[in-house]
Chains A and B, each alone.
Chain A
Amino acid sequence: MPSKPLLKNLLSRQDTWRGRNRSLRKHVITTGNNSLDRLLLGGWPVSALSELVSQQDGIGELSLLMPTLKRYANEDKLCVWLDPPYQPYAPALVSAGIPLDKLLIVRSKNSREWLWAAEQAIRGNALLFAWSNQTQPRYTDLRKLQLAASDSRSPVFLFSSTAALKASSPALLRIELDALKANVLLITLLKLRGKAPGAKIQVSLGDESTERTELDKLPVNIHYPRLKKADYLLPLKPEVLRLNT
């Protein structure tokens, strides 16, 4: 008969599989979206690597993590963005309620530096968003990150391109993101410990109107004061915008 502390230690480990018992992963944080929380059995896994495979940039892949980012940044934790594909736009982050001084952008020169910086950030208990732009990290590299994450107290997010889907991943969670239409994200569960893959949900990212406007029917901006002498300062008129003239 095993001694009690030994058993307790074993059961408290993140990677002990306990059949269909869903209390297996207790360390989760809410995503800020109820349907997504249900899909992920409670929220983003803490102390684990989560991989987000995005079909393309600009579909709202980062907005999905804004509540998590806001929460960690306001808890005075450092948030490291490793190799983001574009420049983060500060006014948008400020209006989302994220203190800029908690954000740190790190640029790596090669895959070795990328892996080192990611591991350091995880071991330093920072919230890590990593983008694998330069080269797709190898399985062993990701395994290293997953191991480091299991010792940390923060979730780790890895943004990959669809090319990553060809290979298997040691990440605890892997989801695919696609846009159904503007503002609506289709999330497919590819891998989650304790749940069968394949589940899909739709997540709406905002309530902006999605009505499409033809270029020659753009509205006239009436808020700008009408200036008489300078032609170039005149507000837009529909005929100015007619392109085929």
Chain B
Amino acid sequence: MKKHRINNIDQKKDIWLYIDFPLLALDAVLTDTDNTQVESAIAIASLQKNVQRIVCCNNHAQKWGVEPALSLSTALTICPDLLVLSRNHEQEKRLLHSLALIAYQFSPEVIISDRGLWLELSGCDQLFHSYSKLLQRLHRQILSLSATATTGIAMSPLSAQLLCGQKFQYYLPDENEIHRSLMATELFKLPGNQKQKNNFKQLGLESIGDLQALPRSALSQRFSPELIETLVLLNGEKPCTLNRFTPPVEFSDQIQIPQGLYSKDSLLFFMKTLLQRFCLYLSARQCHCRNIVWCFEPLLGKRQSMAITLSGSNNNWPSLLTLSRLRLERLELPQSIDQISLFCDQFIDKPELSFDLFDDQITLDNQSSELIDNLYARLGVEALSQPSMSEEHLPENAGSIGPPNRSAKTNYSTSKAPQPLWLLTEPTRIQQRNKQLYWRQPLTIISGPERLCGNWWQSEQQRDYYLACDSKGARYWVFRESMSKQWFVHGLFA
């Protein structure tokens, strides 16, 4: 039985999914702008060999007869209302990387091509129960980035690309079906120069099946070695050597808003989008972030940035958005914002949590770091502090207030003498009136002294600490400085 299963794994073939984004250039430019333009005919044009040519266009433009590779002047003649946008390679690349991050959730092997993605899917069905469920979810996520996608599935990357159809298919065709359609694919789709294509025509070869039927030795004599290489890749006889996609070590993403944003509330929608992309990235890298930096850039003037420090547990977008919103309240923003960017370069490995069925310890710990993050975001770093202790003799040095440090050392030797819970930030001088100490009220010494010396390398401090109380019963920590013979109050026994 076991042997049988091992054989099965050995025989398992690669399943390559190619996702093509025919309107990538258009989607990249349109994602960040508002949707009102979708109703009109839009095309993307770029300069090719000194002529402005259409790269891609939407359905409305296609109805008018506009098509890729058409020169811009012709396109404008047949469709006078055509809205022409220039191609933005930078944004296309960014969109393709976001799409690759999405794909990375579904398969560990993702390859980025010029206008599409390859995914190796064999074995990935286990997590999603079936290939069709996987494909459905994948498509839904791709649609969330408003990208138009079509797919092809085959046993090798190149054949998957050749079989790429007109729509996103949700079922996995069986091997024979794939083979049949691959053999029927027309030869002009195969990469290669025009001369080679003409040669095929002269030889009466029309489909890949015709080509495959010929002996390899004969083909290698007639055609260039590249064709043989292509056929080897097409049949999956050699493993694919293209570079696999890995998430970058830093996260940086931005959204441009050409129409400008004028209120903090309207910023939140775009911040949400960015955070959702960021969380995809975090889950792909399997890590938590330590801090995130937002940058708000106006068209004119200085840009504003805000950093949010995290204790490490908040890695879902709703809580990151809450923190960003709280922090945003304290920020003075320029009048109109043109571009929002999110940046993160500090990560920690995701802690390996084992969940107990009954214990809610983990949620408790999460809750307190979430609370600290919230307080940080709204009140600022300076509002939060923590008492800390150091091995010093003078009380003001021994106990101080510092920034919260959750891994502070706590095992110190402590004094047996009574110590006050409240310390005055500075010792306050008290008066003496006829053998009587006086601070707000007459004070009486109850116990003491405890002598504390310190600072001997600078100015010698020698203090005798006493416990004093007033007529109402409140107790104070007072000391007499040996040098100046002055009395001071330094703390309260609350």
Q: Which residues of chain A come closer than 8 Å to B436, judged between CB atoms?
A: 215
Q: Is the CB of B421 within 8 A of A92?
A: yes
A55, A209, A224: the one within 8 Å of B446 (CB) = A209
Q: Is the CB of A57 within 8 A of B492?
A: yes
Q: Which residues of chain B come closer than 8 Å to A62, judged between CB atoms?
A: 421-422, 494
Annotate A161-190 by CB proximity to B: 1 below 8 A, 0 otherwise.
000000000000000001111111000000
Name A48-89 residues within 8 Å CB distance of B: 55-63, 76-78, 80, 84-89
A85, A206, A209: the one within 8 Å of B422 (CB) = A85
Q: Which residues of chain B come closer than 8 Å to A105, judged between CB atoms?
A: 384-387, 401
Is B190 an interface position by the 8 A CB rule?
Answer: no
Alpha-carbon gap, A57 to B423, bound state (A):
12
A78, A89, A93, A232: the one within 8 Å of B372 (CB) = A78
Q: Say what secondary structure dominates the interface of chain B.
A: mixed
- Using known A-B contacts A77-B368, A78-B372, A218-B449, determine if residue A104 contacts B418 with beta carbons closer than 8 Å: no
Alpha-carbon gap, A88 to B420, bound state (A):
9
Binds A, one of B300-308, B343-351, B359-367: B359-367
Chain A interface residue number, banded: 35 or more
| Most chain B Cβ neighbours within 10 Å, of A87, A117, A233 | A87
- Using known A-B contacts A77-B368, A89-B420, determine if residue A58 contacts B405 with beta carbons closer than 8 Å: no
Q: Is the CB of B387 within 8 A of A93?
A: yes
A56, A91, A109, A212: the one within 8 Å of B445 (CB) = A212
Binds A, one of B53-61, B118-126, B205-213, B392-400: B392-400
Q: Which residues of chain A come closer than 8 Å to B412, judged between CB atoms?
A: 91, 94
- Kindly provide the distance from the CB of B413 to the nearest chain A CB, expressed in whole angstroms: 9
- Using known A-B contacts A101-B407, A182-B446, determine if residue A88 contacts B387 with beta carbons closer than 8 Å: yes
Is B287 an interface position by the 8 A CB rule?
Answer: no
- Kindly provide the distance from the CB of A62 to the nearest chain B CB, expressed in whole angstroms: 4
Binds A, one of B63-71, B193-201, B333-341, B468-476: B468-476
Is A23 an interface position by the 8 A CB rule?
Answer: no
Q: Is the CB of A101 within 8 A of B406?
A: yes
Alpha-carbon gap, A209 to B374, bound state (A):
46
Q: Say what secondary structure dominates the interface of chain A.
A: loop
- Kindly provide the distance from the CB of A190 to the nearest chain B CB, expressed in whole angstroms: 19
A55, A90, A104: the one within 8 Å of B384 (CB) = A104
Q: Which residues of chain A come closer than 8 Å to B408, judged between CB atoms?
A: 100-101
Is B179 an interface position by the 8 A CB rule?
Answer: no
Alpha-carbon gap, A184 to B446, bound state (A):
14
Q: Which residues of chain A come closer than 8 Å to B399, judged between CB atoms?
A: 87-92
- Using known A-B contacts A89-B491, A232-B482, determine if residue A181 contacts B473 with beta carbons closer than 8 Å: yes
Annotate B353-378 by CB proximity to A: 1 below 8 A, 0 otherwise.
00000000100110110111011001
Q: Is the CB of A107 within 8 A of B383?
A: yes
Q: Which residues of chain B come closer than 8 Å to A121, judged between CB atoms?
A: 371, 375
Is A197 an interface position by the 8 A CB rule?
Answer: no
Closest 5 CB pairs of A and B: A179-B473, A124-B371, A90-B399, A58-B492, A86-B422
Given pairs A88-B387, A178-B473, A218-B449, 16 additional interface contacts (CB within 8 A): A57-B494, A59-B472, A77-B368, A78-B371, A87-B399, A87-B425, A88-B423, A126-B368, A126-B371, A180-B473, A183-B475, A212-B445, A215-B436, A216-B435, A218-B466, A243-B432
15 sample A-B contacts, Cβ–Cβ < 8 Å, listed by A number: A61-B494, A62-B421, A63-B421, A77-B368, A78-B368, A78-B372, A87-B423, A90-B398, A101-B407, A103-B387, A105-B386, A107-B385, A117-B378, A120-B378, A215-B432
* A positions within 8 Å CB-CB of B: 55-63, 76-78, 80, 84-95, 99-101, 103-109, 113, 116-117, 120-121, 124-126, 178-184, 206, 208-216, 218-219, 221, 223-224, 232-233, 236, 240, 243-244
